[in-house]
Amino acid sequence: MTRPALRCLPLVAAFAAAGSLLIAQQSPPPDPPSRQRPGVDLIIGDRIGAQPRLAVPDCLALTNDRETLDAAATIAQVLFDDLEFEREFRMLARDTYRTIPRARSLTDLPLDAWQELGADGVVSCSVSRQDDGQLVVRARLFNVRALDSTLGREYTGSYRNVRRYAHALSDEIHRQQRGLEGVARSHLAFVSDRDSESVLGLVPNRQTKEIYVADYDGANVRRVTVSRSLNVTPTWTPDARAIAYTSYRSGQQDVVVSHIYEGRLETPAGGTERVHNWLPAFSPDGRQIAFNSNRDGNPELYVANVDGTNVRRLTNHPAIDTSPTWSPLGHQIAFTSDRTGSPQIYVVGVDGAGLRRITFESYCDRPTWSPSPYNEIAYTSRTGPGHDIKVVDLATNEVRQLTFGQGTNESPSYSANGRHLAFSSTRGSGNKQIYVIGRDGRGLRQITYMGNNEMPSWSR
C-alpha cells in the first residue's frame, strides 16, 4: 500500500501573535489510502522518443448525487490539466471523445475505439460515495495497444479534497510512465492586495500586502497572514511546512517564519527598532536561513541557524548586497549587489570565499537558483522600459531569455523539478499577476486574476 504525500489542507483556525493574525492549519491528517497493483507492467508508447498519446475521459459517477457527479467532472478535468502541464504526453483533446462509447465500468472500456482515435493510453476513473459519506476514487491507466492496465490507484477521503486526488494521480502517472517527479501537489506562496484592506497605523489609505497560498495552478487560494500591514518576499521551507517572509507588522521590517500547520510565528533574525531584517532564504537542508540585515550599519547578507543562533556575516562591502538564494547543495549563495555601479548577480561560498560575478548587463536582480539536476540561475533583467526573465547556465555562462518585453516581468521562482518558473508580470491589464512558464520559454500560463499578485515562491 502506498500513500501519496498530499499537503493541500484547508485553513481552519486563527492564531493571534504579536499584533498580527496568522491563519493556521491543523496538523495534516493521514493521507487518503491509495492502493495499487504491485510492480510496473507496461510503459505506454510505441516509438522511442515519441510522446505517448493520452486520453482522459469523464470519470464514472457510480452514485447519482450532485456531489459525486461534480467530483467526477472535477477530477477528470484537473487530471487532464495536470498531465498537459508537464508536456510529457500528447493529450488528446477532450472534445474529440464524443465518438467513443461510454465505458460501462472502470475496466470495461472500448479500447479498440480508443485505438482508432489514436490514443496510446487512456485513464479510466470512477467515483462513488461510501455509507459513511466518504468519497472513493478508483483509477486505472490502460495501455490501449497491449489491452492491459499498467497502473491502478484507489483514494478514499473527503469530498473537499477532490483536486488532491487528481493531483496525486497525475504525479503517480508521471513517475511510473516518464520517470518524472511532477509538481501537481506543490503550492505557490505569493503576495497580494486582493482583499483591498488599508494598512493599520499612520499611513492612511495605503493598501496592505498579505501572504497567500494556492495550488500550483492557482486554484484553492488561502490567506496566510491577516496583520493588515506589509508582508512581502515569501519563501518556503524545504519541507513546505512553513513560510518565511518580510513583515512590517511591528513597525519596521523583520523576518517572520509562519509555521502554517502549527499556528505559530517565529522571528529568528531578532529584529528591533534599529535592527531591520528582510529577504529570507532557507538552505536546502532547512537548517539555516540567509537574510539581509542592517545590524552592522550597511545592508549586508547574513546566515544563521533557523532558530536564530550562530548569526554570521556573509558579505562586507559598502555597496548594497541583497536577495540571497542557495545553491542546490547548500555550498554557495547567489545574491544581488550594486558594488560595480549597477545591480548584478554574484555568487559566493557560504564561508564568504570564492566571490565571482555572474551577470554583465545594465541591471539584474532577484536571482533564484534552480534545483538539481539543472545548474542555472534565473533572474530579473532590465531590457528596455521594463524587465524580463532570463536564465544563466553556470556551466557555460550561456544566457537565455524567457520573456520578451510584454509588461514588466520579475521575481522568478523554480518548481521543485526545475522544469518551470513562476514569476510576476504586468502584461495584459497592467496589474501584477502570477504566471508560470517552462524553463524552455514555452507553456506560459496566467494563474492569478484578482487584485495585484507578485513575488511567487514555489514549494519544493
166-201 pLDDT tens trace: 999 999 999 999 999 999 999 999 999 998 887 776
414-434 pLDDT tens trace: 999 999 999 999 998 889 999
Residue 376: pLDDT over 50: yes
Question: How does residue 222 score in pLDDT terms, banded at 50, 70 and 90?
Answer: very high
Cα–Cα distance, 164 to 195 (Å, whole number): 26
Helix axes 162-178, 66-86, angle to 10 degrees: 40
Q: What's the mean pLDDT when you consider all of the chain? A: 89
- Of residues 188, 160, 168, 178, the one with CA closest to residue 67: 160
Cα–Cα distance, 229 to 231 (Å, whole number): 6
Q: Percentage of residues in the chain with pLDDT exceeding 70?
A: 88
Question: How does residue 333 score in pLDDT terms, banded at 50, 70 and 90?
Answer: very high
Residue 32: pLDDT over 80: no
The mean pLDDT value for 83-103 works out to 93
**Strand ranges, E, within 158-230:** 187-192, 210-215, 222-223
- Of residues 246, 270, 241, 271, the one with CA closest to residue 256: 246
Cα–Cα distance, 73 to 163 (Å, whole number): 11
Query: The pTM is what?
Result: 0.89
Question: How does residue 15 score in pLDDT terms, banded at 50, 70 and 90?
Answer: very low
Question: How does residue 104 score in pLDDT terms, banded at 50, 70 and 90?
Answer: confident
Q: What is the pLDDT of residue 35?
A: 54
Residue 8: pLDDT over 80: no
- φ and ψ of 76, to 5 deg: -65, -45
Q: What share of the chain is helix, strand, coil (3-state, %, to 5)?
A: 10, 40, 50
Residue 22: pLDDT over 90: no
The mean pLDDT value for 117-134 works out to 95
Q: What is the pLDDT of residue 392?
A: 98
The mean pLDDT value for 57-70 works out to 94
Residue 269: pLDDT over 70: yes
Q: What is the pLDDT of residue 24?
A: 46
Residue 23: pLDDT over 90: no
Domains of the chain: 32-178 (3.40.50.10070), 187-458 (2.120.10.30)
